Structure 1
Amino acid sequence: MIGVLVVEDDFRVAAVHAAFTEQVGGFKVVGTARTAAQARAKVAELKPDLVLLDTYLPDQLGIELLADLRVDTIMLTAASDAPTVRAALAAGALNYLVKPFTAADLAARLTAYARYRGLLAAGDKNLDQDEIDRALRVLHDGDKPSVPKGQSPVTARLVADALRSADGSRSAAEIAAQLGIGRATAQRYLAALAADGTAAMGLRYGTTGRPEHEYTWRG
């Protein structure tokens, strides 16, 4: 389980970001902080694996705090000017997500971070260049979800969210019924998820008739 500290001065926004995070499998919010001072104390106390950090804190800029942290950090902020983005990346931010964003936007980046973390969880093993390059590519896999030509990004996100939150495998018919879309449409978007490795595809055998494809979220 990846422990997350949410650092955000607005408690309502912090609650939303925490709820978004808790929806992603393998992540748990261990605490929240509204100031830089609270964040430092909670990092020391709770030892989170990841910090979700706002830029505008009442006692210090988040980027200044970031430079002092020794923990993986993703910026969640309304600041989108180039100097702030450069400063955050230079200070060590692993990713940068501009408000407002959706649960799916954050989930994509968290899922990519989990894969990146898994690739680097090799203890004291020396990594070769290919392994390092792969980890860096994986880290940003969720920055711009790939949607095949002719598909709607909105529908693609809805199908992905439905499969991600499912308890086990789902068929195209089940996803279609859940979202109120056509079975063929659901099948097309699920097949795209399977093609890029986000979902695993298998066969479900019933008592009669032909087997149907079933899909399981892999992230």
Structure 2
Amino acid sequence: MVVVDDDFRVADLHARFVTTVPGFAVLGTAHTAAQALELVAGSAPDLVLLDNHLPDRPGLSVAAELSCDVMIVSADASPATVRGAFTAGAVNFIVKPFTAGLLAARLGAYAKYRQVLSPGAGDLGQPGVDRALAALRQGDRPPTPKGQSPVTARLVADRLRTADQPATAAEVATDLGISRATAQRYLATLAEEGRADVAMRYGTTGRPEHRYSWRTTV
């Protein structure tokens, strides 16, 4: 893997992030578009972590020339920049600054994506293509908090996603056959992650209740 960033300190930091992920190694770092093209040509990496803000030309224009996979990193997350990254062939887009954990999740998902697309896989068909894309997107999902079940988390999320109106923890609990406290815990996590909106509604007794709805703009 090659890491490209105009700031050598940031490049070194991102390189250290990469080395903590099993199965990934940094072949070198570059700080300009010219250096990046030369390094990639000489080392033939599978993946480049490419900053868009480079002193000699934008990273997006470099990405379009590379034959390997690219993840764009940028502090500019405008729609035009994000669209430009995917138009240039990027497999993912990471907004700066980011944590080692976030990068590890993206790289782990990328490794699964490459495994599905291994040369010996043969013709994938639509199911195989779908598996590859699902594997790549898996790293975009926040990890399930410690002590919570991924299965229950998915059920609660699906309950909100398919609902035509906001729901309380009691309603979700009844529908899924779990306790109200459990439903409340998972719903609160979705709200904290920004995947659900929560609003207060006052009942006849004056005691407020939280009503949750899926945030469609996530």
Query: Structure 2-normalised TM-score?
Result: 0.67
Residue matched to 1:117: 114
1:30 is aligned to 2:15? no
Structure-2 separation of matches of 1:55 and 1:113: 20
Aligned-pair distance for 1:122?
A: 3.0
1:74 is aligned to 2:66? no
Identity of aligned residues (%): 50
Alpha-carbon RMSD:
1.8
Partner SS state of residue 70, structure 2:
strand
Structure-2 separation of matches of 1:124 and 1:108: 24
Aligned-pair distance for 1:144?
A: 2.1
Residue matched to 2:124: 127
Residue matched to 1:214: none
1:50-199 matches, cutoff 5 A: 50-123=47-120, 125-147=122-144, 156=145, 188-189=147-148, 192=150
Aligned-pair distance for 1:40?
A: 0.6
Structure-2 separation of matches of 1:121 and 1:84: 30
- CA deviations over 1:92-146 (Å, ceiling 9, x no partner): 0000000111111000000000000011003372111101111011101011225
Structure-1 separation of matches of 2:130 and 2:121: 18
Unmatched tracts of structure 2, length 5 or more? 155-218
Structure-2 separation of matches of 1:192 and 1:88: 31
Structure-1 separation of matches of 2:150 and 2:138: 15
Partner SS state of residue 123, structure 1:
helix
Aligned-pair distance for 1:77?
A: 1.2
Residue matched to 1:211: none
When Rg is computed on C-alpha atoms for both structures, the one with the higher figure is 2
Runs of 4 or more above 4 Å deviation: none
Aligned-pair distance for 1:79?
A: 1.1
1:39 is aligned to 2:36? yes
Which one-letter code corresponds to 1:54 in the other structure? D
